[in-house]
Structure 1
Amino acid sequence: MRIMIWGSGALGLLWARRLHNLGADPVLITRTGRQRDRIREEGLIVTDDRGDVHRCSVPVFTPDDRLPRADWVWVMVKQTALDQVREQLNRACGPDSEVWLWQNGWHPQWPFTEGTWYWWNTVTTEGALRESENRVRHTGVGSTWVGSLLSPTGGPELKRLPGLDRWVFPDPHIRDRIWTKLAINCVINPLTAVWGVKNGQLLHCKEFPALAKGLLREAVEAARLQEVCLSFDTLWEQVQAVCRRTALNRSSMLQDVESGKKTEVDFINGAIVRTGNKAGIDFALNREMVERVRDVEGTKGK
């Protein structure tokens, strides 16, 4: 089956090689012609979690090229680019295509309903670092869950690609899993971005415990407004565990700040704020994080 990976960041490159090994027909979509040409010339180079290096070749295009039709389209761009990709999906999707959304945070228009294809949402704990336009390092083995925000049908028919169920699991409660990850991200991402520290360094910041717990309490209340029940105590343990497990990692929000890019704060802390506003509740700490991250956006990497 043909799986189109729209977005060639770290996870996109990692999964292209994995799908290639499973015998699928992966196709990569890059944002730039420069990245497309480099992958075409040099291949895709992946360093696995044991340090072994692998090279493979996959078809690669930009959105301006003539695109093949795909059975599954995995949209692996950041939330900031999602709306633009949505407008172009009909160029790759046939009437029976299925679209998987791999974004962090919560888009204000989810669940999407446009098009004749079926929409799936995914949550992943895989870790990867893109080292160059065609090189990626697998930094953390994780799992991926997929389900529908439109109906509790579990997940797509994974057996269509034998072996995929080693890494991907259907989840009829994907909304709960999305909000769990959002709550964790609403602490780690903005604080690393504003303070300019790696994940593990958060645990040594004097302000961290009180501020993190305050952000989490607001996230738990926002989730409740969405009919999602989260445990504050469990989330606090998970935040600390993620900081320890990924101690040397720079969060995606910190990387965006350092490179002068627009961050996803509007879809993470901003999602908490919007949820509260609809109910007449001011989630002040998350609102403050949105403002503080916006203050540092564009101040570096220029």
Structure 2
Amino acid sequence: MNIVIVGQGAIGLLWYHHLAKSPTNLVSISCSSRTISIPNKYKFTDIKNQSDQFPITIANDATFAEAELILVCVKSYHVKAAINAIKNKISTQTIIIFCHNGMGAYHDLSTLSQACLALLTTHGCKINKPFHAQHTGLGHHDLGLINGDMSPLIRENITATLAQALPTLAFTNSIKEKQWLKLAINCVINPITAVENIDNGQLLDKRFIPVITELIREIIAVAAHENINFEFNELKETILQVAQSTAKNCSSMRSDILQQRKTEIKYINGYIVSLARKAGIDVTNNEKLIQQVKALDV
């Protein structure tokens, strides 16, 4: 399969590395226009902490024109610009997969002729240095259609290609519900760990239970207005389980602040607040966390 990865961050390099292993895939990567220097090799540290260097193929207009599949692996606030930069270079038959945190990064998918999918991941990966990614944790992927149509054959081919490269992965017809679950988890874990400068596992301290409780209540109210239904105790247990299973991890938002990068708060808690304002729902705790994160943001 002819595949272009857009974005050379942690997730972009993770997918590039694993997809490029297959001799049946022709994989290239499109780097950010902000990238000063692009090497001819990248470094990858695998889940067993083994590091090596590998050749990297850079995408151009010809590879975009021939692409069957494009994985957009950029920060939420760069999604719109990334799509605008490539949408006139690709075929209407090309499948676009969005793989980013948060929701609302690209509001009007109906303007795209291409079928679009969302790819959610729980794999852990980080950038140690530019063009050096480290796979830090195994996880699961959920893939689902969010715009347009595709044949069962194409869907099966894409699912098989991605699943072979980086297990485990499943296609779901409930991608919206899964997007909301990931959003809810991120709305709690990311901002609190960022503001408090703590690892995920420290969220289990009882001093955080009151704010976690109120955040969940607000998220549930907004989700219900979008026809997504959560049960309070079940959602709370899921969030705390994620904090426990990733206890030693540094959340992406905390990492962004520590690395003096812009956070994705607008597309996480900010998405909740934007929907809440339209619906007249009080989300004071989400609003407070946004302001606290913005005070630390670049």
- TM-score of the superposed pair, with normalisation by structure 1: 0.88
| CA apart distance, 1:54 | 4.2
- Structure 1 match to 2:85: 88
**C-alpha separation in 2, matches of 1:181 and 1:154:** 27
**Aligned runs of 1:222-233 on 2, under 5 Å?**
222-233=222-233
Is the 8 Å Cα contact of residues 3 and 68 (structure 2) preserved in structure 1? yes
Does residue 73 (structure 1) correspond to residue 70 (structure 2)? The answer is: yes
RMSD: 2.2
> What letter matches 1:184 in structure 2?
I
Tell whether the 8 Å contact from 2:218 to 2:282 is kept in structure 1 after alignment. Answer: no
1:210-289 equivalence runs, <5 A? 210-289=210-289
Poorly superposed stretches of 4+, deviation over 3 Å: 32-35, 108-111, 150-156, 160-163
Look up the match of 2:131. 134
Match of 1:124 in 2: 121
Q: Cα–Cα, structure 1 residues 162 and 271, in superposed 2: closer, same or farther, change >3 Å?
A: closer
Residue identity matched to 1:101: F
1:114 aligns with 2:138: no
2:142 is matched with 145
Take 1:242 and 1:273, find their aligned partners in 2: how far apart are those partners?
23
What's the counterpart of residue 189 of structure 1? Answer: 190
Name the amino acid aligned to 1:68. T
CA distance in 1, matches of 2:231, 2:147: 24
Q: What displacement does 1:111 show?
A: 5.3
Gaps of 5+ in 2: none
User: For this pair of structures, how many residues does the alignment match?
Assistant: 290
Q: Which amino acid aligns with 2:267?
A: F
8 Å contact from structure 1 (residues 45, 136) kept in 2: yes
Question: Does the 8 Å contact 1:154/1:170 carry over to 2?
Answer: no
Structure 1 residue 8, shift from structure 2 partner: 0.8
Offset of residue 160 of structure 1: 5.0
Question: How big is the shift at 1:91?
Answer: 4.6
Could you list the runs of 5+ residues in structure 1 that have no partner in the other structure?
Answer: none
Change (3 A) 1:154 1:275: farther
TM-score, scaled to structure 2: 0.89
Q: CA deviation at 1:90?
A: 2.1
Match of 1:159 in 2: 157
Q: Which residue of 45, 59, 63 maps to 2:43?
A: 45
Identity %: 28
Describe the shift of the 1:264–1:162 C-alpha distance in structure 2 as closer, same or farther (beyond 3 A).
Answer: closer
Task: Map Cα deviations across residues 163-218 of structure 1 (whole Å, 9 max, x no partner).
Answer: 533433111110000000000000111011111112122223x5311111111111
Q: Is the 8 A contact 1:3 1:73 kept in 2?
A: yes
Contact kept in structure 1, 2:76 and 2:267, CA below 8 Å: yes
